[in-house]
A and B are shown apart, each in its own frame.
Chain A
Amino acid sequence: MDLRWSAEEQAFRAELRAWLADQLPSVGPKPDPQDWPARRAFDTAWQRTLFDAGYAGIHWPKEFGGRGASATEHLIYVEETERAKAPYVGTNFVGLLHAGPTIINEGTDAQRARYLPPILRGDEVWAQGFSEPDAGSDLASLRTRAVRDGDHYVVTGRKIWTSHATVADHAELLVRTDPDAPKHKGISWLILPMDAAGIEIRPLRSVMDTDEFSELYLDEVRVPVENLVGAENDGWRVTMTTLSFERGSAFIADVITTGVLVDQLAEIARKVTRRGASAWDDRGLRAEIGHLKAELEGLWAMCLRNVSEANRTGLVGVGGSVFKLRYTEARQKLGELTARVIDRAALSMHDVAGRPTGFLVEDRLHSLSMTIAAGTSQIQRTILAERALGLPKDKR
C-alpha cells in the first residue's frame, strides 16, 4: 500500500492542470439550467475542447478513440477537473458513461464506427430509456414492447426519468422482445433515434422546480433492426456489462465537492450569531461537523481503495455500493446540518443577508434524489447483503 503518485501520474496531472488553467478562462458563463438547448451547446462545446486536446473518453480503450487511461489516471482527471471547476460532463453523461461503453462492449463494428466518434467529439447527445412508471427498482419487469415487423422493431410503451430527452439525438432503450420468457430473458437493447415518428416527450417537473427529466411516450415507433445492440432478448446482460466500465474513479468528485461544502458551512457557522455566540461555539454542532469530516476521509480512502482494486482486477467489488450508500447519506446529513447553522436563512433558496446560503439550501433539497437515483439505498443494501454477504435471495 502506498499513497504516492508515480512519476507518470504526476506528469499526467501537471500537464492536465496546465491545460485546464489555459483553457478555462475562455469557457463562457454557465447557461440557464432551464435552457436545455443552451446546456447542450455548452456541454458539447466543452466535450469538443476535450476531444481536440486528447482528453475525450479518458477511460475508453484507445482502439475506440479513448485515451485508455488507467483507473488512477481517470481518478486524477476527475480530481483536477473538479478542483479547477471545469464544466461537468452534463448532457454527455449517458453517451460517455453508459451508451458508449455498452456499444464498445457489445456493439458491432458498424455500430461502433457510427456511434462512438460523435460521442467523443461532442457531436451527438444520448439519453436513457430504461425505467418505466411500473418498472423502477424492479427494472427487469419493464413492459415497453418491441414487435418485429420486417427490418424494423415497432416500439410502444412509456419510459420515465429520461434526462435531457428534449436535446438528445439517440436514446439507449430497453424493450421487451419476448413477453413469454422469464423477465430477465426477454429484454433487448435498442438505439432509439430521438427524431423518429411516434415519440412524445413530456417534461417532468422536479422538486427543484426544474425540468430535470422527462417521460417518453412511444407509440408504434419504428426502429431499424440494425439498431439492436447485442443479441435479441439478451439486453439485460448487455446493459449489465456496462458496469464493467465503472472503476470507481468518478466518485472522487463527490468527495471533493462535499468537502468544499463542509468547509463553506463551517465558514458560515463562524459568522452566524446564535444566543450571543457564534454557531461554531456550539460543541454539539462541531461534533457533527467532525463526524462528517471523518466520513469524508473514510469515503476518500474507500474511493482510492476501489480504484486500486479496479487497477488490479479491472472491476470494483462491493466498494461501489458501499461508497454510494454512505456518500449519499452523508450528503443528506450535511443538508440537515446546514439548516441548523443558517437557521431561518434556510427559508429561502437564495442568499439572505449577504451570506452565501442559497446553494446550501438548494443542495439540501437536491440531495433528496441521491438516495433514490441509480438504485435506491434500500436496493443497494439488498445487493450488498446478497452479493457480498451471500445471504439468500428474498422473494422479490
Chain B
Amino acid sequence: MDLWLSDEQVALQDAVATVGKQLFSSEQVRALAATAGVDRASWSALAEIGLFSLRLPEPDGAGLGIAEAVLALEQLGRAFVPGPLVANVLAAGLVDGVADGSVIVGLLDRDEDPLLAENLDAVDVLLVLDDAGVIAVEPSALTATALPDPADPLTPVHHVTAIPGGRPLGGPELAARWRAEGAVLTAALQVGLAQRSLDGAVTYARQREQFGQPIGQFQAIKHLLADALARVEIARSAVYAAAVTIDDPDVGDVARRVSAAKLLADEAAVGNGRTGVQVHGGMGFTWEVDAHLPLRRAWVYATHFGSIDDHAELLAEMV
C-alpha cells in the first residue's frame, strides 16, 4: 500500500506542470476565449508531451494508467488549461488523430437537459454518450445555436436541439467505463483548480495589507484558507485512491470511490473558488483579477459526469 507518488509520477507531474505554465499564462489563457477555448498549437504541445496517449499501450503510448492521467490533469487544472481535456484522454486510441492532437473531440451526455455542447467550434468530432454507448457525430450536422456570454468565458457553449445519427464507438460497457473514468479525470481537474484558487488567495493574503499588517496575519483569513487547504487535501486523497482503484479494481469498490472523489473534488473546487474571490475582497469582483476564473470553471466541471447531488444519492444507495 502506497498512496504517495513514485519518483516517476513526480517527474510526470513536474513535466506537465512546466508545460502548463509555459503555454498557459494568464494572458494566453484569456486570449483563448476568441478561439472557442482551444488553440491548436498549444493543444499539439499537450499531445507531444504524451497527455492523450498516456494510457495507450506501448509503442503508441506510455502504457500508464488512470492514476498517471489523474496526476497530469490535476496539473493542467492547476494551470487553468481550457478545452475538452477529459474527452480527449478518454477517446485517444478509439478516435484516430486524438492521441497526436491532430483531431480534437468534444463530449456530450445525451441524458442532460438542456443539451449544451462545449467548445463546439473547436472540435472536429463530437462524441455523444448515453447508457447505450458512445457515438461519433459530425459537429456541423448538429442542430445547435451558440449561446452568448458563457458562464466560464473559456468554455463557450451551444444549445443543441437535434443530434444526428453517428458512427458507434462502443456499447453500454464503454459508456459505463467512460462515466467512471470521466468522473475521476474531471475530479482531478477540480483538485487542480481548487489548488489554484488556494495558491492565488495565499499569495494575495501575504501581500495585501490592511490595519497595518498583511491580511493573512488575521485569523479570520487564516481559517478560511486552512479550510480551503483541508478541502483540497481531502479531495486529492480521494481522487488518487479512486484512480488507483480503477486501475486495480481488486483493491476496492470502484463506484463508491469514484462518486466520493467527484463529490469531494467538486466541493473543493467550488468552495476554494469562492474563498479565492472572498479573500481578494473588492478586487475579487473585478474582471482583471483572475480569482473568479477558477470558480467559473469549477462550476462547469461540477456539471460533468454527475453532479454533487447525483453522487451523494449514489453513495447513499450503496449504504
Chain A residues close to B by CB (< 8 Å): 1-6, 9, 72, 75, 262-263, 266, 283, 286-291, 293-295, 297-302, 304-305, 307-309, 311-312, 318-319, 322, 325-326, 378, 380-382, 384-386, 388-394
Contacts and interface: CB of A to CB of B under 8 A. Distances in A.
Given A1-B6, A385-B225, A295 B316 contact: no
Interface string B256-284: 11011101100000000000000000000
B285 interface: no
B311 A392 contact: no
Q: Quick one: which of B67, B206, B248, B312 has the most chain A CB within 10 A?
A: B312
19 contacts: A1-B67, A2-B1, A3-B248, A295-B264, A297-B264, A304-B1, A304-B237, A305-B3, A305-B240, A326-B230, A381-B223, A381-B227, A385-B223, A388-B226, A388-B229, A389-B222, A391-B216, A391-B217, A392-B206
B172 interface: no
B318 interface: yes
Contacts of B3: 1, 3, 301, 304-305, 307-308
Nearest to B239: A301
A394 B214 contact: no
B9 interface: yes
B241 A3 contact: yes
B235 A3 contact: no
A72 B4 CA distance: 13
A297 B223 contact: no
Contact of A389 (B213, B214, B225, B243): B225
A9 B1 contact: yes
A1 B2 contact: yes
Interface in B172-216: 198, 202, 205-206, 213-214, 216
B32 interface: no
Given A389-B226, A392-B214, A301 B313 contact: no
Interface string B240-252: 1101110010111
B225 to A, nearest CB: 6
Contacts of A302: 233-234, 237-238
Contacts of A72: 1
A382 to B, nearest CB: 6
Given A297-B241, A305-B3, A394-B217, 5 more contacts: A3-B248, A290-B312, A301-B240, A382-B222, A389-B198
Contacts of B313: 283, 286-287, 290
A307 B4 CA distance: 9
Given A305-B4, A322-B233, A382 B319 contact: no
Contact of A290 (B4, B217, B244, B316): B316
Given A301-B237, A301-B241, A262 B225 contact: no
Interface string B1-39: 111111001000000000000000000000000000000
Nearest to A329: B230
Contacts, number: 184
Nearest to A312: B4
B264 A298 contact: yes
B4 A297 contact: no
Contacts of A394: 217-219, 222
B315 interface: yes
Contacts of A309: 4
Q: Quick one: which of B1, B245, B248, B261 has the most chain A CB within 10 A?
A: B1
B309 interface: yes
Contacts of A298: 234-235, 237-238, 260, 264
A312 B259 CA distance: 29
Contact of A304 (B202, B219, B241): B241
Q: Quick one: which of B227, B313, B315 has the most chain A CB within 10 A?
A: B315
**Chain A contact residues: helix, strand, loop or mixed:** helix
A344 B72 CA distance: 51
Given A393-B217, A394-B222, A384 B229 contact: yes
Nearest to A296: B260
Nearest to B252: A3
Contacts of B263: 290-291, 294
B314 interface: yes
Contacts of A295: 234, 264
Contacts of A262: 319
Interface of B: 1-6, 9, 67, 198, 202, 205-206, 213-214, 216-219, 221-223, 225-227, 229-230, 233-235, 237-238, 240-241, 243-245, 248, 250-252, 256-257, 259-261, 263-264, 309, 311-319
Contacts of B240: 1, 301, 305
Nearest to A6: B1
B238 A382 contact: no
A395 to B, nearest CB: 8
A355 to B, nearest CB: 17
B229 A322 contact: yes
Contacts of B250: 4
Nearest to B319: A266
B216 A392 contact: yes
A281 to B, nearest CB: 11
Nearest to A9: B1
B111 to A, nearest CB: 19
A307 B248 CA distance: 20
Contacts of A1: 2-6, 9, 67, 240, 243-244
A319 B236 CA distance: 11
A315 B234 CA distance: 18
B238 A301 contact: yes
A299 B233 CA distance: 10
Contacts of B309: 287
Contacts of B257: 297
B183 to A, nearest CB: 12
Contacts of B67: 1
Contacts of A6: 1
Contacts of A389: 198, 202, 216, 222, 225-226, 229
A295 B238 CA distance: 9
B319 A289 contact: yes
A2 B248 contact: yes
B234 A299 contact: yes
A-B residue pairs, 5 tightest by C-beta:
A290-B312, A297-B260, A385-B222, A301-B237, A381-B226
Given A304-B237, A385-B222, A293 B245 contact: no
A386 B229 CA distance: 12
Given A385-B223, A391-B217, A326 B260 contact: no
Nearest to B70: A1
